[in-house]
Amino acid sequence: MLAETTDLDCYGVDPNAADLADVRTTRRPLRLAHVRPGGRLPFSDGRFDSISLLDVLEHAESEDALLAEISRVLAPGGLLVVTVPARHIFSALDPDNIKFRAPRFHRRAYTARFGRNAYRRRFADSSNGLFGDMSIGKRDHTNYEREWLVERLAAHGLDVVRIGGANLFWRWFQIPALLLGRRLGRPFEHLVHLDGRLFRRANLFLTAKKVSPLADA
């Protein structure tokens, strides 16, 4: 989206080679890199002025390992934008944890919606280091405490300068939207967007600046 609507020099990175292949066929030419989960980013130190991790961190086996790599390739004074699910009263409803908490139900529901081949490709074949969209070894789609995340960012030289959020009841609407399909689930998707405008609790948005070495001196 940034590449198509701005003059920014944009790069994309993903651990799923098949998803990257889809992007190459549906979007204008982009600089894309395939990196296995936990792998080193193929960029030099301080390469980027800004980096976005949009609902990424909760899928990584080690948040610290990923943040260390992000900090390495971010230029001093550069900005990191992070979005994650927040821990709140309805966190137990996170549908991304069904595959861990109720794997048989998840297999039946996913197969009924997308087919056996799709399930086998995403969840039975682990050759890409992924279980669905989660890193192998990750056993929880993490919902984060704000204070913990701010602390981990600071540990990697990333000073939080802005905090926001969205939603509260959206899981009550998202789950039926996922199960009912695009046409029948559309009213629930509208309720998700309305909930996002009214509340600020279920999703956490942070902007952090990489501390300059001179600032530490």
pLDDT by 10s per residue, the chain, length 217? 888 888 889 999 999 998 898 888 887 677 899 999 999 999 999 999 999 999 999 999 999 999 999 999 999 999 999 999 999 999 988 989 999 999 999 999 999 989 999 999 999 999 999 999 999 999 999 999 999 999 999 999 999 999 999 999 998 998 888 888 888 999 999 999 999 999 999 999 999 999 987 555 4
d(CA 14, CA 183): 29
d(CA 22, CA 26): 6
Residue 92 lies in a domain: no
Alpha helices in the chain (DSSP H): 2-5, 17-26, 63-73, 98-101, 103-114, 116-119, 146-155, 170-198, 213-216
Residue 107 lies in a domain: yes
Residue 115 lies in a domain: yes
Q: Which token pair is 157?
A: 């030289």
Residue 108 lies in a domain: yes
Number of other CB atoms surrounding residue 84 within 10 Å? 22
| Distance, first Cα to last Cα, the chain | 38
Residue 38 lies in a domain: no
Residue 193 lies in a domain: no
Residue 167 lies in a domain: no
Rg (C-alpha) for the chain, rounded Å, is 18
Residue 109 lies in a domain: yes
d(CA 190, CA 180): 14
Please choose, from the candidates 144, 167, 136, 171, the residue with its C-alpha nearest in 3D space to the C-alpha of residue 58: 144
In total, how many domains does the chain have? 1
Domain region containing 110: 99-140
